[in-house]
Chain A
């Protein structure tokens, strides 16, 4: 692997680069936000410009792109160029996956890395290594946004929905405040918002939320998740159920009983529930008073 740190030898001294004329960067007389480049980076870029201008699809150019992305992971055209070289040279793309796995451990939040990997896996048409790769990164940072978004692509692209719910449930068990896992739960159950929930699943999810709410009443995740499910799939009975449960959970008798509320999220969801039921109701007794009460609470407490 070419990762120049201690043993830096200028490219200009390497015989395999002697036929290339490096192209320096032209910043003009008024450079905007110039960067004090390291010597390695400045030189590698001079050579990269030369081979990219020549569209040289060679193995030395492949190595050079590797060096560049280690020094500047966000160099987006270097990644595009690298992909072109890989396709042209017909190299073993599994070794590219190995490189990317190693690279991801150091630079897990580089956008280009994830899209490059997606391109490679598409070419290979083989997702068999992806779950381990992603799980390893999520073990280090269970909220890595890129890893989750990539996981959604893998699951969808290769129809790997089975097994996803138990995995997500396990992560929520490990950390009930992991909102990325909650989001993935919604994603799996609705198949990426393409599928409705049946009655049994919805009731099961509401129970699941209630259990997690009781566990940590000041955790936003289950409240937001529950609200989302109810708004999209809930019936009148589901809303009535959640109102009763929230009152019990929050120890509040009505939406205005702020002082007694143990959880701002329980209380916020309860308000939304009241509002929803008011909208649905037609001639229920005391409707005007309830509506006024919700409005008063919202105005006073800005929710």
Chain B
């Protein structure tokens, strides 16, 4: 896809791009049908970072989206399968009738979808009052494996760092850590740090930029970021910095890719090392992957897609682009949306507790 790189960050085009994605995606996204909640999170958070969420979406629309998200919640009324509570990635499993739970055997939540749902709800201005906290927390307990890692749902053997992060972010947003054995989770993260200082998705695998932020954000959320026994911080910082060419690449000797400006950039930010990133080079790379129709591609000649568009945007936010909201890197939520969420919660608490 050809479009001459510009020196400008195209705010208005990006707003239009996320609006389009939110209203209809082309059939090439069919392979992501099970992860629509995550695609939605990219759109909501994208519009939020751009400061336009409440101007381009009416209050009714935002309420409508909130209701759609809650419609994907897998509650105890739907199924008794242990570990299956939380949010499903979309309505693809069919109606969640509660008359006959046996019919919902394959209706299971997924940790990535639950994380995406909670983030989207926070960003959309919900207070999580309709979230079945207890069931989600109980599910987490079921999904944590003996090695400390997490699988995304009860029928999966895919145990890796991405889901440790989802679990930690969920616990943080729900203010309830009773579903996570922190010591074991920290042990799993430690085992994922490879000989070169980077983190692998699972112990033994090659270091992968995609999980740098998962590892260090989880540690931060669990209060172990300053724990020298949890990981080798300077090795992790050095590994992250070595993956910058112009932008960042996800593995040693691979090509730069827009999304790693988030995965690795946010990881460095969590570790307090973002000032060591060469921002000029990164900016030039991202301006080259920015598309004139809005959004970002993976590489300079690629079409934009929802994930890379959102990740490109977060990088500009972390670089301090004027007009973009500040991002909390360990949660992947804007500071503004997060503080508003906490304020809504405490005022709800005041209303409900007699003084």
In A87-128, the 8 Å CB interface with B consists of: 111-112, 115, 118-119
**Dominant secondary structure at the A interface:** helix
The residues of B that contact A148 with a CB separation of less than 8 Å are 205-206
* Stretch from A37-45, A166-174, A288-296 that touches the partner: A37-45
Q: Can you list, as one digit per residue, whether each of A220-236 has a CB less than 8 Å from chain B (1) or not (0)?
A: 11001101110110000
Interface window among B32-40, B136-144, B178-186: B32-40
A29 within 8 A of B: yes
Residues of chain B contacted by A227 (CB below 8 angstroms): 195-196
Residue of A nearest to B38 (CB): A33
- CA–CA, A80 to B194, complex, Å? 31
Complex CA distance for A83 and B156, rounded to whole angstroms: 11
Q: Which residue on chain A has the smallest CB distance to residue B195?
A: A228
Interchain CA distance A45-B21 in the complex, whole Å: 22
Q: Indicate whether A282 reaches chain B with its CB closer than 8 angstroms.
A: no
Which 7 A-B residue pairings sit nearest by Cβ, starting from the closest? A228-B195, A30-B64, A32-B40, A80-B155, A179-B252, A224-B196, A49-B94
Residues on A with beta carbons closer than 8 Å to the beta carbon of B33: 35, 37, 41, 45, 72, 74-75
A149 sits at the interface (CB 8 A): yes
B window 12-35: CB within 8 A of A: 21-27, 29-35
A35 & B252 in contact (Cβ 8 Å cutoff): no
Bound: A77/B108 CA distance, A: 8
Q: Kindly list chain A residues whose C-beta atoms are within 8 Å of the C-beta of B103.
A: 53-55
Measured in the bound complex, the distance between the Cα atoms of B201 and A148 in whole Å is: 12
A35 & B25 in contact (Cβ 8 Å cutoff): yes
Total residue contacts A-B, CB cutoff 8 A = 185
Q: Are the CB atoms of B253 and A35 closer together than 8 Å?
A: no
B195 touches A186 (CB 8 A): yes
- Beta-carbon contact of B69 and A80 below 8 Å: no
B residues with CB within 8 A of A = 21-27, 29-37, 39-40, 43, 61, 64-65, 67-69, 71, 91-95, 102-108, 110, 120, 152-153, 155-158, 191, 194-197, 201-208, 238-239, 241-242, 251-254, 276, 306
Known A32-B65, A303-B238: A74·B251 in contact at CB below 8 Å:
no
Closest to B25 in A: A35
Instruction: Tell me, rounded to whole Å, the shortest Cβ–Cβ distance linking A175 to chain B.
Output: 9
Nearest A residue to B102, CB-CB: A55
**Interchain CB contact under 8 A, A38 and B30:** yes
List A contacts of B106 (CB < 8 A). 52-53, 55, 77, 80-81
Residues of A near B206 (CB, < 8 A) are 145, 148, 179-180, 183
* Chain B neighbourhood of A119, CB < 8 A: 157
- Which residues on B sit within 8 Å (CB–CB) of A186? 194-195
Complex contacts, A37 vs chain B, CB 8 Å: 27, 30, 33
A34 and B25: CB pair below 8 A?
Answer: yes
A299 to B23, CA, bound (A): 49
A193 in the interface (beta carbon within 8 A): yes
Q: Please tell me if the beta carbons of B195 and A232 are within 8 angstroms of each other in the complex.
A: yes
Nearest Cβ on chain B to A227's Cβ, whole angstroms: 7
Which of B153, B201, B208 has a CB less than 8 Å from the CB of A76? B153
- A36, CB-defined interface residue at 8 Å: yes
Binds B, one of A6-14, A19-27, A131-139, A244-252: A19-27
Set B40, B107, B253: member contacting A177, Cβ < 8 A: B253
A-B contact pairs, 13 of them (CB 8 A): A27-B68, A30-B68, A32-B36, A32-B40, A32-B69, A35-B27, A38-B27, A38-B30, A49-B93, A73-B31, A77-B155, A183-B206, A227-B196
